[in-house]
Amino acid sequence: MIDVRAVRREFPIFVNNPNLVFLDSGASAQKPRAVIDGIAEFYRSDYANVHRGVYQLSARSTDRFEEARATVRAFLNAADEREIVFVRGATEAINLVAQSWGGAVLQAGDEVVISDLEHHSNLVPWQIACQRAGARLLVAPTDATGEFDLGAFEALLSPRTRMVAVTHVSNVTGTVLPVENIARLAHRRGAMVLVDGCQAIPRMPVDVQAIGCDFYAFSGHKAYGPSGVGILYGRYDALAAMPPWQTGGGMITSVAYAGTEFQEPPHRFEAGTPDIAGAVGLKLALDFIEGFGREAIREHEAALTDYGVDVLSRIPDLNLVGGGQRRLSILSFNIDGVHPHDVGTVLDQHEVAVRVGHHCAQPLMDKLGISGTVRASLGIYNDKADIDRLAKAIEACREMFLR
Amino acid sequence: MTDLRELYQEIILDHGRHPRNFHALEHPTHLAKGYNPLCGDRVTVYLALDGDRIVDVSFDGRGCAISTAAASLMTEVLKGKTVAEARALFARFRAEVTGGETVELPEALSEDAERLEPLTGVKAFPVRVKCATLPWHAFEAALKGGLEGDTVKTE
Ligand SMILES: Cc1ncc(COP(=O)(O)O)c(C=O)c1O
């Protein structure tokens, strides 16, 4: 059981904004004291550039940076630390794969399969990569309840399928995708598999070997860590076969005007000075999550999700967007006759912070026939009282617009 | 807490629910679209000009209560105005909602400016100002572009 009152004391934002109901963790999570203070302490005590200095301080900073990599490896249950690439975030991780792997492998006539739940950042990079190669982008559908349609997905696969790129948890519907089955079916056809783990990492156990994916991407800032740092996990063989993406310092073994030799992964993909303190902060965030246990966090958020579905379903004129059988932590809805922006403004006046709009998933909005939704998303610090405050604010909104 | 009633005044809610001049013109001389990428809202403004005078104006599209009411009220005040008068009203309105320097209006337009007054509540809600000005920007683009007006975006 997670003691939400104790959790909240770990988050200064709630101490400084005691009346705030924060339901926008899907966009970015708040930061615990351990992360905020830990980053400051790192700058105070151990900071220098990494991998280059001969002096002790640089060695210490490098140790902290590489220790973060080790923590991420364990967190994902990757086989090897060399499979963990530090990037700016999920967007950069996916662009790295789409451009490096996609640029080298994709040919005219090849196919890339995504789902219709993808965030623009797991859609546009593939669209561009396909355009460049003359490949086709295929979209696997969710059914009317918001559940990923595994049968329809399987029917889309063919010997031409080179890549299957899907989200683990939808940032719009909360649908949890059956990524293990998706990976198994894709591999049977010889395709590679990338999973966008942005929404899964902060709220459920993730084991990349059990999933069987080739790539797994996530951003630190949605997992209680700092913004500006994220992770690309890549199976070592897959990474080793990929050409460098960005080039420059830190990723070479030797440079001459006649040519350059590049490092092995992961450094091959880490050109330039990385976000050193960001990596340290991410490690602290993952430690913070592990302190509660991901199974406990999932239970907490799943129970709260069920409660939210229950409460929202009772509100007249409210339509909840379907999130399938195993919805997690994300509740998207519309109120008949009231535009999401107007709902957002009224909720804000009740100090309930939600996100409104298309949530970087415009093709999904088109499919649902709406311009946007109101989205409440949960974090470790939310409880039933937050859902009740949300419901009360929605009531005020209906009162104003629909009376 | 800023009072929501300042923003959602009765007249705004009314125009939001029952927008006036909410249809396409059959024979527009000018039209342009406005698009807010933040929320995906779209508005198309249609004008029928006779020389320098706006003989008819209408809009369609989908938007929030604020942008719908702003477009509806805009069409009401613009009908029958000259282009110069319409631009003066826009300049005044924009200054009012963005907190810019006050724009003086000729006496003859003061009643129209007053009709737009209820929308100035958005001043206290900075993220919503663009909702109120979007139809006006589309109107401006229509004036400039004839039937080939550029799509204006809020950002
Ligand atoms: C499912 C999903 N994928 C990708 C992203 C993009 O993450 P970032 O902007 O941190 O790169 C997000 C964030 O909104 C997301 O929710």
Residues of B with CB under 8 A from a CB of A: 1-2, 4, 7-8, 13, 16-17, 38-41, 62-66, 125, 127-128, 131
- A202 touches A300 (CB < 8 A): no
User: Taken in order A173, A179, A181, A187, is the CA torsion positive or negative?
Assistant: positive
Query: The CATH number of A36-290 is which of 3.30.70.20, 3.20.20.150, 3.40.640.10, 1.10.260.40?
Result: 3.40.640.10
- The model's pLDDT over A271-325, given as tens digits with 9 standing for 90+, comes to 999 999 999 999 999 999 999 999 999 999 999 999 999 999 999 999 999 999 9
User: Would residue A397 show up in a list of annotated catalytic residues for this protein?
Assistant: no
pTM as predicted:
0.93
What confidence category does residue B153 fall into, taking pLDDT thresholds of 50, 70 and 90? confident
- The model's pLDDT over A382-403, given as tens digits with 9 standing for 90+, comes to 999 999 999 999 999 999 998 7
pLDDT of residue A112: 98
- The model's pLDDT over A320-351, given as tens digits with 9 standing for 90+, comes to 999 999 999 999 999 999 999 999 999 999 99
Q: What is the CATH number of the domain that holds B18?
A: 3.90.1010.10
Tokens of A116: 């219709």
Task: Give the β-pairing of A84-87 and A230-234.
Answer: antiparallel
Mean pLDDT, chain A, integer? 96
CB contact under 8 A, B8 and A339: no
pLDDT of residue A17: 97
Domain spanning A4-29+293-402 has what CATH number? 3.90.1150.10
- End-to-end Cα spacing for chain B: 28
Region B66-80: what's the mean pLDDT? 96
- The model's pLDDT over A226-247, given as tens digits with 9 standing for 90+, comes to 999 999 999 999 999 999 999 9
pLDDT of residue A230: 98
Domain count of the fold of chain B: 1
Say which amino acid occupies A107: Q
- A13 touches A21 (CB < 8 A): no
Using alpha carbons, list the distances in angstroms from residue A26 to A167, A203, A362: 13, 10, 17
Q: Which domain holds residue B122?
A: 2-153
Residue A249 in this model has a pLDDT that exceeds 90 = no
Q: Which residue in A has a C-alpha nearest to residue B14's C-alpha?
A: A401
Ligand 1 centroid distance, CA of B98 (Å): 32
What confidence category does residue B36 fall into, taking pLDDT thresholds of 50, 70 and 90? confident
Residue B1 in this model has a pLDDT that exceeds 70 = no
| Non-local CB neighbours of A313 within 8 Å, separated by 6+ positions | A320
Question: Domain boundaries in chain A?
Answer: 4-29+293-402, 36-290
- Judging contacts by C-beta atoms under 8 Å, the chain A residues touching residue B8 are 342, 400-401
Distance CA A229, CA B13 (A): 44
Least confident residue range of A9-13, A126-130, B3-7: B3-7
- The model's pLDDT over A147-204, given as tens digits with 9 standing for 90+, comes to 999 999 999 999 999 999 999 999 999 999 999 999 999 999 999 999 999 999 999 9
Give the single-character DSSP code of B115.
H
